[in-house]
Amino acid sequence: MNQRDCSRCKWGKDMGHGQIDCTHPSFPGCEGFEEKEIRICQRCGKAKVCSIMGKTSDCFAMTWYDGKEQDGYVVPVIGIGGGDYIEFDYCLHCGQIQGDWPVPAGKEKS
């Protein structure tokens, strides 16, 4: 399933915060069109998956399941990004973070 989003076309519906929702057919020469794939949740099967992205600038912090704390960079093996960036897909219907789980034993803190 695909969805078309238009960031420049007058036919788009303003969704606030600079977001435009455009569902009209593709107009030749409309440079704002991007074809995006609608993602299906791997758990519940609903088409309500959104992408979460953020830059931590070395300010990432987490507490491991054994109580140990870690800060600085995003740990890449936990499936939510790596380095300075948090990036993951999240289902707005069931709350499932999309990805490959579980993290292989022994790889969590490597």
Q: Verify that 91 and 68 share a domain, yes or no.
A: yes
Residues in the chain: 110
Q: Verify that 74 and 25 share a domain, yes or no.
A: no
Closest CA relative to residue 100, chosen from 110, 91, 88: 88
pLDDT for residue 14 is more than 80: no
The reply to whether the predicted model has a pTM over 0.85 is: no
End-to-end CA distance of the chain: 37
Q: Verify that 53 and 25 share a domain, yes or no.
A: no
Q: Verify that 86 and 98 share a domain, yes or no.
A: yes
Q: Verify that 55 and 86 share a domain, yes or no.
A: yes
Q: Verify that 20 and 47 share a domain, yes or no.
A: no
Q: Verify that 85 and 100 share a domain, yes or no.
A: yes
How many domains is the chain built from?
2
pLDDT in tens, 43-96: 999 999 999 999 998 899 999 999 999 999 998 888 899 999 999 999 999 999
Residue 33, domain extent: 1-38
Which pLDDT does position 100 carry in this prediction? Answer: 85
